[in-house]
Amino acid sequence: MSKIQVAIAEDQAMVLGALAALLETEPDIAVCARATNGRAALTALGTHKTDVLVTDIEMPEMTGLTLAAEVRDRWPDVQVIILTTFARPGYLRRALDAGAKGYLLKDRPSAELADAVRRVHRGQRVIDPELASEAWNSEPDPLTERERQILWRAGEGRSSADIAAELHLSEGTVRNYLSEAINKLGAANRVEAARLARSKGWL
């Protein structure tokens, strides 16, 4: 029985090498390709027979999400696992839309990676359990487009007057939107509101 051929895409070279070492310790898995960005991963897939692709999301050149969609179109029998820091429901949904079969968080125990590779190779789906449930019954983004625009800028440290000028609004209106957002998010002020929204992936 031959080993499962795995390709890895991850922009931090040290982490890439370490993940490869981790998978190589498994007797039934072999790392056949490594890439530090999405585009390089595509070329690699062209030259190495690959069963499973493990990829980060945030990479230069081409993100893991675009990469996953591309792989689904060009090598439909390569299974894709997204491995990322971000527990954002929005990312998960986009990953699944792009045809990914697995979505794993970097703060899960390292043993789960090899496991996920095997299961995905057998045709199963592997979604981080917490995230899966959270994605389903998670409150949807309560912010309106305006509130998002304004909260974002406020989080950068810009003043109400400044933001008002940029968006061609009156200063009072900007303060009203911020007040709304702070209230919706249950925060104590604009800074906390911005932090909260960012952490939920709404900004």
Partner DNA sequence: GCGCCCGGATGACAGATGTCACCCCGGACC
Partner DNA sequence: GGTCCGGGGTGACATCTGTCATCCGGGCGC
* Residues of this chain that bind DNA (CB under 7 A): 144, 146, 154, 159-161, 168-170, 172-173, 175-176, 178-179, 182-183, 189-191
Q: Which does 83 bind (CB under 5 to 8 A by kind): DNA, a copy of itself, none?
A: a copy of itself
* Relative orientation angle of helices 64-74 and 38-47, to the nearest 10 degrees: 30
Task: Work out how close the CB of 39 gets to DNA at its nearest, in angstroms, rounded to a whole number.
Answer: 25
Q: What share of the chain is helix, strand, coil (3-state, %, to 5)?
A: 55, 15, 35
Who's near 144: CB < 8 A, 6+ residues apart?
Answer: none
Q: Which does 111 bind (CB under 5 to 8 A by kind): DNA, a copy of itself, none?
A: a copy of itself
Residue 73 has a CB neighbour count (10 Å cut-off) of 10
Are 128 and 102 within 8 A, CB to CB? Answer: no
The SS3 of residue 64 is: helix
Q: Which does 144 bind (CB under 5 to 8 A by kind): DNA, a copy of itself, none?
A: DNA
Task: Work out how close the CB of 202 gets to DNA at its nearest, in angstroms, rounded to a whole number.
Answer: 16
Which residues on adjacent β-strands are paired with residue 166? none
Task: Work out how close the CB of 170 gets to DNA at its nearest, in angstroms, rounded to a whole number.
Answer: 3
Question: Measured between alpha carbons, how far is 164 from 71 in angstroms, rounded to an integer?
Answer: 44
Task: Work out how close the CB of 72 gets to a copy of itself at its nearest, in angstroms, rounded to a whole number.
Answer: 24
Task: Work out how close the CB of 168 gets to a copy of itself at its nearest, in angstroms, rounded to a whole number.
Answer: 21
Residue found under tokens 């090899």: 114
Phi, psi of 32 (to 5 degrees): -100, -15
Chain positions contacting a copy of itself, by CB under 8 A:
11-22, 24-25, 83, 85, 104-113, 155-159, 187-195
> Which of 69/116 has CB closer to a copy of itself?
116
Q: Which does 2 bind (CB under 5 to 8 A by kind): a copy of itself, DNA, none?
A: none
Q: Which does 170 bind (CB under 5 to 8 A by kind): DNA, a copy of itself, none?
A: DNA
